[in-house]
Structure 1
Amino acid sequence: MNILLLGGSKFLGRAYAAAALARGHQVTTFNRGVSRTDLPGVEAVHGDRASLADLERLIGDRRWDAVIDTSGQQPHDVAQTARLLRDRADHYTFVSSIHAFAQWPAEEVDESSETLDCDADLPPDQPFANALKAGCERAVQKYFGERSLILNCGLLIGPHEPIGRLPWWLDRIARGGRVLAPGDPEHRMSLIDARDFAAFGIDLTERGTTGRFVTTAPAGSTTMGELLRCCLAATGSDAELVWTDDATLLAAEAGPWLELPLWTPDEAEWYGTWRADSSKAEAAGLKIRPLAETVRDTWSWLEDGGREEVSYLAAGNPVGMEPEKEQRILAAG
């Protein structure tokens, strides 16, 4: 297949490019060329998808079998892209997020769940909001209709993760000592390796599959305890995990999700975080590798220079707890 990959140099886009190349597909990547280098073997076209001139230069007189969009954040930009490509490609995959669902994270979600209210023709340069992904979905569906595929991804981890949730835990545990381990070690989680997501996405593109898939690991397929034990094993650390209950952490103003990455208290507002129903994707062939393999590969990547790719920021918010605060909470316990 001849594939246009919007993105292609960073994390999930990079995983898509690697998977497509490994299967012998022709891949054109389109990105700004400023954050990462493109993989050898792709035809790299650099430009800004917000620029009409750059998009027109990319498209020219070309045609692709499929478009895979891993970089769409603004409905206006996605609508402009899809409008220009609707007669130049047969199929359009848009990588969205479970954040696009109106009920998440308070409730379980599946493909039938309502998405947030956001217009496909929203003006450009909107401030970050989860609803924007829902607007991007509508933009793709507006111009590609039944030729579109929406993948609502769960929490992605693995090598080349730019935000740094798993990398933070790996580095913290590698430092050793007493480690503040949040909540119940048996608290269920669902984590998907970006490489597994991309492999499944390419499978669907090759088949011309359309519609919507919630794409994450099976609900509750791992635990916080297993995640941190995998970090201990991967790093060879002798760190001591000090499990601290939700109430103690909240009383100490420890921040869920980002300050203690991936920790979600057992409270109603977080109920559905790890309960997205991926059974449709599993039935369609989604395969999830062992968590230990993902953690081990991520540590190897970090040790081989990967830390230069990690921002430890999520939508401008810092990821990870400051050592001084961690020590205060440990001492108080």
Structure 2
Amino acid sequence: MTDPTTQAGATAPAPRTGDERTGGVSERNIGLLGDRKKARLDELARATADNGGISLFRDALQRLRRNPVAIVGAIIVGLFILVAVFAPLIAPHDPAQEFDALTKNLTVENIPGATDGHPLGSDPLGRDFLSRLIYGSRQTLFVGVLATLIGLSLGVLLGAIAGAFGGWVDVVLMRLTDVMLALPSLLLAITLVAMASRSSQWTVIFAVAIVSVPIFARLLRGSMLAQRESDHVLAARALGVKERNIVLRHMLPNSLTAVIVQATLTFAVAILDAAALSFLGLGDPDINRAEWGLMLGVDGVHYFEARPELAYYPALAIIVVALGFTLLGEAMRDAIDPKNRR
């Protein structure tokens, strides 16, 4: 008869080795893997230190330099700004001056074309059309910059308040922006200008600015809500930093990048909206002030059969400048997007 103790000893499992306890990887191998990982991390750290590190701004700038779309947009925007700033030096004549050589044979059916000293001919009042086109860039830049800055300031203020406080404040402000976004931007701008007792250059600026406010507000509010639960914000709260300082020093600066990029795209929309209002006769009533939308609406449409160039040149200028800001803004948005990094 077999001894029970002998049978139990024969069938008892052998002690598990270190490789079996760790799934085939010994403690020594784990230590080797950890050393290799640490060495690789040290190597990457040294390489980053040798290169001085790459900031978000520097990385985005390098990506923009390699992007042909960004280069084309930057060239268009740069030329537009240069022409607008140095218009008095570039324009061959005073844009409000009427010339005898142009008014001598001027009629409704006969508007002089290119002549000596006037490469693009005359406008319907005998003024140099090229000079008015160049000065029109100044007016377009002025309206676009002010409208974008005002809309950006108000949108950042509303978005920061909604993102910082949340709760019923966020609900009320976002419902107001939803109402504004539900209306087409041009229709809302026309409504705002029509409410003014008298249309002027400033009514156009404020109307276009108000239209862009909900875009900035929504974008900043979404960015700030994403920042509320980020690690650096939670760490600041744990250290007892005041909520005001958290909003102003941590949440707001880290949320403004996308808003600034959006401002570039909004600038293109502001130019189109301002030109559309002037085209419809709701812009600046001063016919002596050169502005592309006004030139397109007053001169181009009314005298299209006599001289279609009066409509072609302002329309082409508006399209090219808006395209330049759009290309640059889209390239900037792609450059700062973490999902597009390699």
State the TM-score, normalized to the length of structure 2: 0.22
Structure richer in helix, relative to its length: 2
Choose 1 or 2 for highest CA Rg.
Answer: 2
